[in-house]
Structure 1
Amino acid sequence: MKSPQKFWDKVAPRYAKSPIKDEKSYQKKLAITQQYLRPDWSVFEFGCGTGTTAIVHAPHVKHILATDISGKMVDIAARKARDAGIENALFRQGTLDSLELQAESFDAVLGLNILHLLEDAEAAISQVNALLKPGGIFVSSTVLIAELKLYWRLLIPAMQVLGFAPHVNRFDKQELVSMLIDAGFSIDYEWQPGKESVFIVARKER
């Protein structure tokens, strides 16, 4: 299996051209998130991909720092932001582990379509909690690999060996919710557009 950085660098150009699979659900997630956002907020997004979501949310907040493990993804995101005239979004290559970020410095953290791709999602959720100000929110949208059709669950390992699929975690919704609660979050909003994914807004309680 390729390293995550090499995998996402390779697929970045194709990823940037790919249409959103479920536009209606994506727009609902954007709308729900923007109900929480405030003009004076600082926002951090990890796993930002080519920056589409950060660019959409940027006009609604003071500043967004958006990061991705793939430098090629970040380059595309920065170019898209310039083309859109977005000046309050900064794109940087890095991960939760590699970036030196100040504790309790963000009002919101976005982790969209990323938790199931991490080696240690539990540790990542704890790191997110540490980055948030008290009462801050963590917005996540996660593929529930454990709920995928059997065909995909059997095919993914073979695709990984051939370099056509990244690492994935196989937790279900309840396991994800438990990780959030154990890290000091309460669940403020939960929505499943389908059995195989879940959108959650969690609030930092401690």
Structure 2
Amino acid sequence: MSMAGDTHFWDRISRKYAMSAIADQAGYERTLDRTRALLGPSDRVLELGCGTGTTALRLAGAVRDYLATDLSAGMIAIANEKHAAGLVPTLAFRIATVEALAPDAGRFSVVLGFNYLHLVRDLPGTLRRIHALLEPRGLFISKTPCLGHMNPLIRSALLPAMRAIGKAPYAGVFRAADLSQRIRAAGFDILAAESHATKGNDNRPYIVARKR
């Protein structure tokens, strides 16, 4: 499946995605609280892969500017519907990929990527672009499924088969240690790596990294 196919996949399931429940609500609330504590009223925040805007709507009121982006027009349409129902003046939604944001280099004090990095096709390149978008000493905060810890049969057989028939998007396979190494290689110092899961076997490290 190509990037265009990924976009079509997310557009197609956007309404179903918007109605789905968060699997670990307590873990999600912990992530929000931890992130909110790292944000300040003067911060300019970029969220990549914002989906239907749930996280953006919860966090944007505490910062100066918050730009939430996603490659899916369907996801952004739902996010804007939510935003219209409870307007947050500091928040804007935009259909965009990290590549399209190059003119904003050095603009943001914080970049967020929740459930995002495993979906990008060029992880090293994406991390370098995130680094470029941050101002000096800016923060990159992520919480990403590390599929390298998944059952090998599911990882190597089921997921590729589902992608081949359009039932799943692209998903990169890496372990938590690999992800940390790649973040450092892109020019970041890792300040914290935490688990926020409150149930189940969740290999989604919450990572706070600072631009060198």
Identity fraction in percent: 37
Aligned counterparts, 1:51-200, within 5 A:
51-153=53-155, 154-192=157-195, 193=197, 194-200=201-207
Inter-partner Cα distance in structure 2 for 1:81 and 1:44: 16
Instruction: Tell me the equivalent position of 2:31.
Output: 29
Q: 2:21 aligns with which of 3, 19, 28?
A: 19
Structure 1 residue runs without a partner (length 5+): none
Say how many residue pairs are matched. Answer: 205
Q: 2:209 aligns with which of 172, 196, 202?
A: 202
Query: What is the CA-CA distance between 1:122 and the residue it aligns to?
Result: 1.0
Query: What is the CA-CA distance between 1:78 and the residue it aligns to?
Result: 1.1
* Amino acid paired to 1:99: L
Query: What is the CA-CA distance between 1:98 and the residue it aligns to?
Result: 2.2
TM, length-normalised to structure 1: 0.95
Inter-partner Cα distance in structure 2 for 1:88 and 1:82: 13
* Amino acid paired to 1:14: K
Which protein has the bigger strand share? 1
Which secondary structure does the structure 1 equivalent of 2:168 belong to? coil
Regions of 4+ moved over 4 Å: none
Query: What is the CA-CA distance between 1:120 and the residue it aligns to?
Result: 0.5
TM, length-normalised to structure 2: 0.93
Structure 2 residue runs without a partner (length 5+): none
- What whole-Å deviation, never above 9, does each CA across 1:116-169 have from its counterpart, x for those lacking one? 011001111111111111111101111111111234213111111111111011
* Amino acid paired to 1:111: G
Counterpart contact for 1:81–1:87, Cα < 8 Å:
no
